[in-house]
Amino acid sequence: MVDNVDKSGCYQWYQGGIIWWSPASGTHVVWGAIMRAYERANWVWPDYSSSGYPMQMIGYPISDENCTGPGGGCYQWFENGIIWWSATTGAQRLMNGD
């Protein structure tokens, strides 16, 4: 496990995704196309350790991926928004307030 820069949580990389934990949101897995959009949304990789506050954008995951969306789409909630994925649209980020 690697601590987040501001010590508000930690994460662990695995071959197929990342497991994030924070006291506020608990433990959640982020993987696949949603993980790639999450990385872009947070400017996390590859320089995570030097970024200061990488979670300032969409934030920690607050749910697991849910694939009960219309048309077979999947989505996952984060502190400051949602990432939606479908075969038609690919992964799209929607921030609170957009």
In DSSP notation, 33-90 reads HHHHHHHHHHT-SS-GGGSS-GGGSS-SB-S--B--SGGG-EEEEETTEEEEEETTTE
- Ramachandran angles phi, psi of 83, nearest 5°: -115, 125
Instruction: Name the token pair of 89.
Output: 């649209």
Instruction: Please tell me the chain's helix, strand, coil percentages from 3-state DSSP, rounded to the nearest 5.
Output: 20, 40, 40
Beta bridge partners of 77: 82
Contact predicate 88/71, CB 8 Å: yes
| pTM for the full predicted model | 0.76
The CB density around residue 14, as the number of other CB atoms within 10 Å, is 9
Tens digits of pLDDT across the chain (98 residues): 566 556 678 888 898 899 999 888 999 999 999 998 888 776 544 445 454 444 457 888 999 999 987 778 999 999 889 999 999 999 998 887 65
